Amino acid sequence: MIPTLINTFSNCSLIFMKNTSKFSKCIRVRYQHSLYDMAIIGGGIVGLAAARELILRHPTLSFVLLEKEKELAQHQSGHNSGVIHSGIYYTPGSLKAKLCVRGAALTYEYCEKKGIPYKRCGKLIVAVEREEIPRLNALYERGQSNNVRDLCIIDAKGIREREPYCRGLMAIDSPYTGIVDWHLVSLTYGRDFQAAGGTVITEFEAAGISSVPESPAGDTSGIKFPISVKSLKGDEVQCRYVLTCGGLYSDRLSEISGCSPEPRIVPFRGDYLVLKPEKHYLVRGNIYPVPDPRFPFLGVHFTPRMDGSVWLGPNAVLAFKREGYRPFDFDLWDSVDALSYRGLQKLVMKNIMYGMGEMYKGMFINAQVKILQKYIPELSHSDVLRGPAGVRAQALDRNGNLVDDFVFDAGLGEVGSRVLHVRNAPSPAATSSLAIAEMIADEVERRFIL
């Protein structure tokens, strides 16, 4: 295996990632065929964390990570709020709760070890209406049950002490919540993977996962490496096992290996506003609303960033392209795929007024600012600008329910017995990434003979 890796490196060109001195080398392979023990498809934060965990556990095996873009972590991992969540929101005892709490602790440890900048700036979850107070108290109890560190309830005076320009009746103070550049974290996972001997191949968009056809006499590669992963450009990797962490394309990657089309990924775009630099003093830490169980998404909030900027939002609207970060981005296949899905149709019917409100907020800044003023009354329309956007890979079932848990899948036959799909790694996947990687590696070891 090791000679194969050495030869791989000698035939590659290195692309150095921008925006960080702690670069991750992306390797663009110039050959058509290669053999590995395991291929990981997807160079986002979950795929990179899983690849890192697997190679650290099994250093004698050969691993390759396949990414369709020129660089790693270009989509959800590089288009998110940057928050390190503490684990308040999730059902006590649930996998999401456990993974988030553990993932946050592992993230802080990892950042300290690697010298990755972060800020433990805290978060207030603020009740601005009296009817929100019972939900706030219930949320506090949930956080306590999840063993979230250092939670406390504060009154209006306490809110002003922590956030001088914020107004509310009561709030949960979560000082353990922080912020980090998740794109940088993702690249560092990739650097760890490569330092341990892993290979990263970019511009490899997986188009087929199948059994290797019968080989000519004397060629035993098909016996030892029975799974073929082919790209749209015709490149091929042969391997013993495949792990997919496809994010926005997780359902399509599953389908090409013969799995069920459900749960379906439906893309939702979140548009942010940004606070003008001269108004950054209005926000010190994260300021969040009390979740309303009637609505499928959290609602607008205030998020400071590692670069000193402050993001406000986001809304949540259907994206007509899976990687469509602008309001008018459109892909016919993605649009037909989403709009024809019965699950989305049911979700829309159940939340039609909410959806129309989100669209209205996306079109008119004043509508979003009006909601934000409930928390910071001094905020005005002239204080904000339109900002970036992210696209969320929301898994839906056919009944229109948001799939809120992790989903693993495998197909049938020879391919299915050697392929594991991570079909849904729900928010907060970035915060939980190191803990999710442990879970994925455990699942790989349970299913496969490594």
Which domains, from first to last, does the chain contain?
2-76+183-263+405-447 (3.50.50.60), 266-400 (3.30.9)
Q: What is the pLDDT of residue 323?
A: 95
The residue to which tokens 């496969």 are assigned: 448
Residue 188 has pLDDT above 60, yes or no: yes
**To the nearest whole percent, how much of the chain has pLDDT over 90?**
77
Q: Is the pLDDT of residue 9 over 50?
A: no
Mean pLDDT on 207-217: 81
In this model, does residue 31 exceed pLDDT 50? Answer: no
What's residue 33's pLDDT?
57
Q: Which amino acid is at 326?
A: R
* Contact assessment for residue 87 and residue 100, using Cβ atoms and an 8 Å cutoff: yes
Closest to 279 measured CA to CA, from 383, 371, 369: 383
pLDDT of residue 215: 63
Longest alpha-carbon distance in the chain: 80
Give, for 337, the enclosing helix (H) or strand (E). Answer: helix 332-339
Instruction: Over range 148-163, report the average pLDDT.
Output: 97
pLDDT value of position 27: 44
Q: Give the residues across from 84 on adjacent strands.
A: 178
Closest CA to 169 of 178, 179, 160: 160
Q: Crossing angle of helices 332-339/342-350, nearest 10°?
A: 70
How many Cα atoms occupy the beta-carbon half-sphere of 77 within 13 Å? Answer: 27
How confident is the model over 394-446, as pLDDT tens digits?
Answer: 999 999 999 988 888 887 677 888 999 999 988 799 999 999 999 999 999 99
Average pLDDT over residues 110-126: 98
Average pLDDT value for the chain: 90
Res. 13: pLDDT tops 70:
no
Mean pLDDT calculated for residue range 298-315: 94
